[in-house]
Copies of this chain bind each other. A is one copy, B any other.
Amino acid sequence: MSHNSFGHLFRVTSWGESHGPAIGGVVDGCPPGLQLSEADIQPALDRRRPGQSKYVTQRQEPDQVRILSGVFEGLTTGTPIAFVIDNQDQRSRDYGDIAQTFRPGHADLAYHLKYGVRDYRGGGRSSARETAIRVAAGAIAARVLGGGVRVRGALVQMGADRIDRAAFDWAEVERNPFFCPDPAAVLRWEEMLSAARKAGSSLGAVIEVVAEGVPAGLGAPLYAKLDAEIAGALMGINAVKAVEIGDGFASAALTGEENADQMRMRADGTVEFLSNHAGGILGGISTGQPVVARFVVKPTSSILTPRQSVNRQGEDADVLTRGRHDPCVGLRAVPVGEAMLSCVLADHLLRHRAQNPDAPTVARLPRN
């Protein structure tokens, strides 16, 4: 049963509210004997952390992670790895009116209808702050995947403005506050985002995550399909409204001939794919090609422009959300998307190993 857990053999359970004493997670099922310490997790958290540029929320959360169990003398023990991140910057005064009025685009009304009781401070459980837990879990997943698998993400569209794919440069991603792989787009986006912030508005975004070095054979034919579980994991990130694998939405407009990823044998006996429309997954199972997924983050719902809404008493009530918010939450979703992809892959790696311990991990075929 998944309420606040995901994964099957590499299983992450998350807890915590934005303005409670702490948030935390438990990773259960991590293999023993892996090197792990806070130093492996903190850099991933730091990438996601607010307050790092003028383009994201100015809240100051140090987001220091502490491991409380499951690691002994620097090695994982195979028992649950619990970690906690204390909440420090809890300016509850910013959020007072949320207690009464439901912010459009937010979870406020839905929580109220479902639970009756809700911790409205800073969005409580529905706050994007919770994604820090996913990022931490993703760092542990990366250990499980090992050095041969590389998971990276980039912002490929802000608002309606897409990057130039021909200019895609992974190195550029680390050089700007947008995780943008196209230097020309960076310049445009700086202007767009400043303008949006000044206007009390916000922008959506599209994030691309890519995993290279994924072993062939991860996934399962039906319902535990690798692509289905990636879709669920990415759609489960706050504010995400769409997910695609490989060519995704564009594949509707391809012909069958165009869409087929043709194959040739390489001299070394491995299979070479001549294209990757499929995004590395066929029939729900990885082929060894890079796994490519994209997801869409809607514009931040917390905006300074007033919107029509209703309150707990059943009255019309306009709302505008003061406070320190990201004008484009999509930016900070990049490390979250990387983490979710890592977690799904780690889970499927363990599942594959259980059922098929002797399967080949690269697409190699016998040659005479």
Contacts and interface: CB of A to CB of B under 8 A. Distances in A.
Interface string A223-265: 1110111111111101011111111110111111111111111
| Central interface residue in A126, A233, A243, A252, by most chain B CB within 10 Å | A252
B29 A26 contact: no
Nearest to A315: B265
B80 A13 contact: yes
Contacts of A159: 252-253, 255
A37 interface: no
A245 B256 contact: no
B68 A259 contact: no
Contact of A223 (B5, B242, B249): B5
Stoichiometry, copies per complex: 4
Nearest to A83: B15
Contacts of A332: none
A149 interface: no
Contact of A307 (B243, B257, B307): B257
Interface stretch (A53-61, A69-77, A164-172): A69-77
A36 B224 CA distance: 24
A105 B278 CA distance: 7
B283 A110 contact: yes
A31 interface: yes
B241 A245 contact: yes
Contacts of A258: 299
Closest 9 pairs (CB-CB, A-B):
A107-B283, A232-B232, A202-B256, A228-B236, A354-B354, A314-B365, A231-B235, A242-B244, A110-B285
A216 B15 contact: no
Interface string A349-368: 01111111101100111111
Contact of A241 (B80, B248, B298, B364): B248
